């Protein structure tokens, strides 16, 4: 009987905290007033990752002149060169999707990857060259694909941010056409493709639509082909609220 009272007190001492922990309920939306959650779990920037993922639409304007193109007719074709200025196409406009993954080293510097894919129609016939004749297939016969690294800087201006970035990567443009060798050959589906480097400075403006989301408008020009232009709109989700800036 003498040991019963100390044992009972010990059981109650350990049981009360455990019971309180198991029965705690979050009763308020006030920041930090959470019985069961970790303090600042909803707004602390130290526990989140400074990453962002974005996707959007982009438009491209490409001029064949000044590029190196190569034609291919079927799998067994050895290929042939096509001068951009001799293609008979002044410019090609296309629209597609853009994806990017970015890591923010600070509020002002970021690095990442960008992928773009656009589709269009040439709307004209490629001029004959190298003994080949071409005809337009009257379909979406143009595709442009880009894969690039991104290096950028940002100036925060409240809920707006201005960015200047450079994309460095590979730019592939391909025109699908019907072609034949000589005047009496059979028409066969082929392609004329240009593969080159991409060095595109871009200017962008971001608008924070929430602590973890932005909408951006941007425009750029390929430094290696100054007549080529692109522009677009990107919607991004950020892993860290305001990318680590606690107040705007």
* For residue 242, pLDDT beyond 80: yes
Answer for the pair 101, 53: CB distance below 8 angstroms, yes or no: yes
Answer yes or no: is 233 within a domain. yes
Q: Which residue has the tokens 């049981």?
A: 15
Region 146-152: mean pLDDT is 97
Quick check: pTM over 0.85?
no
Of all residues in the chain, the percent with pLDDT exceeding 90 is: 45
DSSP secondary-structure letter at 243?
G
Residues 187, 162: one domain?
Answer: yes
Residues 148, 215: one domain?
Answer: yes
Answer yes or no: is 189 within a domain. yes
pLDDT value at position 41? 46
Phi and psi torsions of 15, nearest 5°: -75, -35
Number of domains into which the chain is organized: 2
Task: Give the distance from CA 244 to its chain's centroid.
Answer: 21
Q: What is the pLDDT of residues 164-180, one digit of tens each?
A: 999 999 999 998 888 88
**How many C-beta neighbours within 10 Å does residue 47 have?**
10
Residues 27, 149: one domain?
Answer: no
pLDDT value at position 55? 97
pLDDT value at position 232? 97
Residues 33, 62: one domain?
Answer: no
Residues 82, 175: one domain?
Answer: yes
Residues 34, 65: one domain?
Answer: no
Residues 153, 77: one domain?
Answer: yes
Residues 9, 93: one domain?
Answer: no
Answer yes or no: is 90 within a domain. yes
Q: pLDDT band for 1, please (50, 70, 90 cuts).
A: very low
Answer for the pair 59, 230: CB distance below 8 angstroms, yes or no: yes
Answer for the pair 88, 129: CB distance below 8 angstroms, yes or no: no
Q: What's the chain's average pLDDT?
A: 81
Answer yes or no: is 69 within a domain. yes
**How many C-beta neighbours within 10 Å does residue 240 have?**
19
Residues 21, 117: one domain?
Answer: no
Range of the domain at 215: 52-244
Answer yes or no: is 47 within a domain. no
The two structure tokens encoding residue 145: 């694909």
Q: pLDDT band for 11, please (50, 70, 90 cuts).
A: very low
How do strand 132-135 and strand 68-72 relate by DSSP bridges? unpaired
Residues 65, 157: one domain?
Answer: yes
Exposure string over 50-73, b if 16+ CB within 10 A, otherwise e: bbbebebebbbebbbeebebebbb
Q: What is the pLDDT of residues 166-215, one digit of tens each?
A: 999 999 999 888 888 777 778 888 888 999 999 999 999 999 999 999 99
The two structure tokens encoding residue 118: 């656009």
Q: What is the pLDDT of residues 86-132, one digit of tens each?
A: 777 888 999 999 999 999 888 889 999 999 999 998 866 777 777 77
Answer yes or no: is 184 within a domain. yes
Answer yes or no: is 150 within a domain. yes
pLDDT value at position 207? 96
CA 51, 53, 59, 60 torsion-angle sign: positive
pLDDT value at position 161? 93
User: Who contacts 195 (Cβ-Cβ below 8 Å, separation ≥6)?
Assistant: 170, 171, 172
Answer yes or no: is 93 within a domain. yes
Answer for the pair 189, 178: CB distance below 8 angstroms, yes or no: yes
Q: What is the pLDDT of residues 72-89, one digit of tens each?
A: 876 666 778 887 777 778
Residues 17, 101: one domain?
Answer: no
Residues 3, 78: one domain?
Answer: no
The two structure tokens encoding residue 96: 């597609």
């Amino acid at each position: 009987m003498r040991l019963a009272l100390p044992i009972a007190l010990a059981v109650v001492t350990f049981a009360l905290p455990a019971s309180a922990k198991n029965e705690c309920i979050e009763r308020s939306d006030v920041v930090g007033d959470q019985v069961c959650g970790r303090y600042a779990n909803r707004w602390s920037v130290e526990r989140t990752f400074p990453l962002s993922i974005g996707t959007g639409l982009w438009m491209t304007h490409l001029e064949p002149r000044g590029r190196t193109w190569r034609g291919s007719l079927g799998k067994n074709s050895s290929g042939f060169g096509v001068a951009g200025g001799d293609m008979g196409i002044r410019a090609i406009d296309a629209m597609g999707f853009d994806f990017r993954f970015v890591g923010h080293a600070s509020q002002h510097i970021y690095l990442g990857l960008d992928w773009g894919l656009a589709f269009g129609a040439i709307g004209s016939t490629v001029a004959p060259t190298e003994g080949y004749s071409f005809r337009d297939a009257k379909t979406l016969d143009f595709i442009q694909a880009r894969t690039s690294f991104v290096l950028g800087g940002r100036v925060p201006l409240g809920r707006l941010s201005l960015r200047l970035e450079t994309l460095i990567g590979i730019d592939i443009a391909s025109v699908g056409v019907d072609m034949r060798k000589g005047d009496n050959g059979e028409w066969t589906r082929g392609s004329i493709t240009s593969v080159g480097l991409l060095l595109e400075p871009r200017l962008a403006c971001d608008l924070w639509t929430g602590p973890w989301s932005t909408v951006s408008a941007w425009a750029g020009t390929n430094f290696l082909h100054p007549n080529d232009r692109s522009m677009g709109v990107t919607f991004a989700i950020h892993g860290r609220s305001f990318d680590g800036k606690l107040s705007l």
